[in-house]
Structures are given as C-alpha cells and as structure tokens.
Amino acid sequence: MRYSGRSMTCLSLPVIAILAAFVVTAASAAELRLRSTCTVSGGLVTLSDVAEIFAAEGRTSDDLAGIELFPTPAPLRQRFLRLRELQDLLLLHGVNLTEHRFSGSSQVTIRGGEIIRKTAEKPVSSAAATRAKRRLSGAIVAYLAGQASAELPWSVEFELSQDRARMINSSRQKITVGGGQSPWTGTQRFEVTLVPTEPKGVPVAEPRRFTLDVRVSLPTAMVAAVRSLPRGTIIGPRDVELRVDVRPGRGIKPLHSLDKAVGRQTTRSITAGQVLQQESVRSPLLVKRGDVVTVYVRSGGIRIRTNGRSRDDGSLGDLIAVESMLDRKTFFAQVCAAREVEIFARAIAAGGTK
C-alpha cells in the first residue's frame, strides 16, 4: 500500500507530540537522594536539607530545593522523617511524584542545631564562666578520684574558652571525662564529653566532645602527728606520718620529711592530726638547766676536764651558758654529749722578743 506525503505528515504529528511530551518530562525529572542524617540551624526544614537533588535543569533543582517542609526541631532535639511522609508533604506542595525518582535512605534523622542569635556573640559573664569552670572541675576531680584515689585533694587548673563555657552552660547535660595517664599529676590531656539529656537523664542528641589540657597537682605532703604528743616527747617512727589532706594555718612552716621529725623532741604539746612545725621539734635535750656537766677544754693536743653547772637547756651542738664551780664565772660551751660540753681554746703561739 502506498501513502502520500500528506498522509505521512498527518500520521507523524501525534508521534511527534508524544515524543515532545516525553522530552519535556525527562528534562523536568529529578532524582531525590535522601540523606540519613542532617542538622538544621534555620527556622524551617527544606527539601535540600533532607535530600540531595539531581536534576537536568538547574531551575528545577532550585525550585525543589526551596520547598519548605516543617519547622526545625528545637536546639539539640531531633525528629525522624520517613520517605512516605516526605512524599505526602511534596504532594501537598503540588509536586508530581511520578516525574521524580527517590533513592538513598528510607528515613532521615533531623537534628535541631543551636540557633545563633546576636546575644550569643556577647562575652560570657564572669559568673557564667566561673560556673562552667566549677562544673567541669568537679567532673575532672571525680574522674581522678575514680582512677587514682578518692582521698587525695586533687587540684586542677585549666583555661576554658568562652565558646566552651557557653557550651557547658547552654543546656542540661551530663559531663563525662576520659583520658589522662598515671601518675595523674602534671599536664594531663583529658577528653571531655557533653551529653545533652532530658530532665530524667535520657540523651536527646549526639554528644559533643573536645580535648582539654589540664594541670593536675597535689599539695606537698606534710608531717602530721598520728597521736597526741606531750611536750618533751622523743618522736618515734609510729608517732608521725606524711599526709596531703591537711591544711596548715597561715604563716606556719611545716615539716615535709619524716627524717626531720623522727628522733627529735617536741618543744610543745601536739594533738593528733596536727601538722608539725619546724619550731615545734628540736634535737633531744642532752643538757638541762641546773645540770652539773663535765666541761672539756681542748687546745691542740691538750685536754683539760673540769665541772660546771648548766644555766640553759641544750641539744647536741647548741651553745649554752655554763657557770664555773670554782669561781662562779660564766662562760659559753658547746653541748657534745649527755651532760657534757666542750670548749675549744685557741693555742697561743710563742714568739721571741726583740
């Protein structure tokens, strides 16, 4: 059968129309690839927040990207958007779903980011910074107590930026600390985690983390009495101990070594738990006031021995006043043993006369 050219033209018009419609549809079609998670800081969630849009024409992509879906969740909160719910929202906006293809995740987790306001740029007040630092210090000390010793008075020092202070004070959250290493003193690097929670302690958003360099120290150990020590007691090894959980009074010069306490004698009464001061101990008295002492006078290879009466108390090496038993004159001698003192006399060199 033969067809004229006019008939051919008539038959091809419907085909051309169909092909043109197909081309237009293909040009306006887009692939919507859903994300698994997204964080939105603006006031409204748009289609571009929850999905990547791939379209042949840029105008189609822009039109789809600007579709507003619903209000953004509150800061640090989250909600879930399923594929079917998204398709229903797009239908309400007049989007022909048959023209587009959906791929990617079947559900999007949408988190509300912190909305930056002008007030957030203001410097953190000193009271707020102190409050944040106190909270973080408490968490670090609690961590050290669990890792090393709960009885030690840990001291921590660190610098806290305004952003981190604002982060700690921003909302209800649990602070956890990790990291560091034995012996736990000196400069330690800790990992701080802030977990936003509901009032009942249920996490509501992903935790935020940062590292912090902290100077950790313990007070210098001091010698303290284990039991009450009356005046004149010779201190034994079981009478004293080193402690770091005591606080000496202002202006007190404490002892920091057991060797400087054991074997010495108390100059005053000391109660149990009290810190020993340098002035509260001395070497044991070898000579007491009123004792009759043996006096040795040494000069070169000559040694003379006589007796005298002590007019002072004295420990080993002390210089005390001694009264002569012969003419009651007073002189100074050095304590060398129990009830013994000595004098070193300078020898007189003999010389000829001119």
Q: DSSP letters along 129-160, please?
A: HHHHHHHHHHHHHHHHHHHT-SSS--EEE---
C-alpha separations of 296 from 89, 309, 318, 335, 339 in Å? 112, 13, 15, 10, 11
C-alpha separations of 271 from 199, 225, 228, 268 in Å? 48, 7, 4, 10
pLDDT at 19: 41
Three-state SS for 17? helix
β-bridge mates for residue 188, sequence order: 214
Average pLDDT over residues 152-171: 85
| Structural contact between residues 343 and 331, judged by C-beta atoms closer than 8 angstroms | yes
Start-to-end CA span in the chain (Å): 170
pTM of the model: 0.39
pLDDT band at 10 (very low <50, low <70, confident <90, very high): very low
Strands 292-299 and 302-310: antiparallel
C-alpha separations of 197 from 38, 173, 184, 206, 306 in Å? 20, 5, 30, 10, 88
More reliable by pLDDT, 344 or 236: 236
pLDDT at 322: 94
Pick the closest to residue 218 from 251, 250, 255, 188 (CA basis).
Answer: 188
More reliable by pLDDT, 289 or 7: 289
More reliable by pLDDT, 243 or 76: 243
Query: Residue 183: is the preceding peptide bond cis (ω within 30°)?
Result: yes
CATH numbers and ranges of domains, the chain: 17-112 (2.60.480.10), 120-217 (no CATH), 219-282 (3.90.1210.10), 285-344 (2.30.30.760)
pLDDT at 17: 44
pLDDT at 342: 92
pLDDT band at 13 (very low <50, low <70, confident <90, very high): very low
Average pLDDT over residues 29-56: 86
pLDDT tens string 163-212: 888 888 876 778 989 999 888 889 999 999 988 776 555 555 678 888 99
Average pLDDT over residues 58-86: 85
Beta-carbon neighbour count of residue 126 at 10 Å?
8
